[in-house]
């Protein structure tokens, strides 16, 4: 999987934050620690994960961020997942009827 080197962060959270008004942005920064049950520093670390980093945001936290911003599943990822559905995998394996 080739990464787009012009993208700085692994997740689109900052892109979505920039679309908020100043009061909404300030409120979001204050809400995030309570929403995900982590300290402010951890939230900042999540927001600043570089695209080349092996670090991931935990799935449950991603669900919360997706709900908060109203994006579809995987809508925060700045990189392709490359996954296939189980139907595609079974079809390609020749084990389906």
Torsion 88-90-93-96 (CA) sign: negative
* Tokens 């799935």, residue located: 59
In a domain, 8, yes or no: no
- pLDDT tens-digit map of 44-73: 999 999 999 999 999 999 999 999 999 999
In a domain, 7, yes or no: no
In a domain, 2, yes or no: no
In a domain, 48, yes or no: yes
Mean of pLDDT over the chain:
87
Q: What's the confidence (pLDDT) of residue 87?
A: 84
Percentage of the chain lying above the pLDDT 90 cut: 66
Q: Where are the alpha helices (DSSP H) in the chain?
A: 13-18, 22-36, 40-47, 59-69, 86-93
Full-model pTM: 0.75
CA distance 47 to 74: 15
Single out the residue of 32, 39, 37 nearest to residue 11, CA to CA: 32
Expressed as residue numbers, the domain containing 47 is 13-93
Single out the residue of 61, 89, 90, 88 nearest to residue 76, CA to CA: 61
Q: Report the number of secondary-structure helices (H) and strands (E) in the chain.
A: 5, 0
In a domain, 71, yes or no: yes
Q: Residues 35, 64: contact at Cβ < 8 Å? A: yes
Number of domains in the chain: 1
């Amino acid at each position: 999987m080739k990464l787009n080197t012009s993208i700085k962060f692994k997740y689109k959270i900052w892109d979505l934050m920039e679309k908020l008004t100043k009061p909404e942005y300030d409120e979001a920064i204050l809400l995030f620690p309570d929403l995900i049950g982590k300290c402010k520093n951890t939230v900042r670390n999540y927001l600043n994960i570089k695209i080349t980093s092996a670090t991931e945001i935990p799935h449950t936290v991603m669900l919360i961020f997706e709900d908060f911003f109203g994006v579809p599943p995987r809508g925060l990822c700045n990189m392709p997942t490359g996954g296939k559905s189980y139907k595609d995998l079974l079809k390609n394996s020749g084990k389906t009827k």
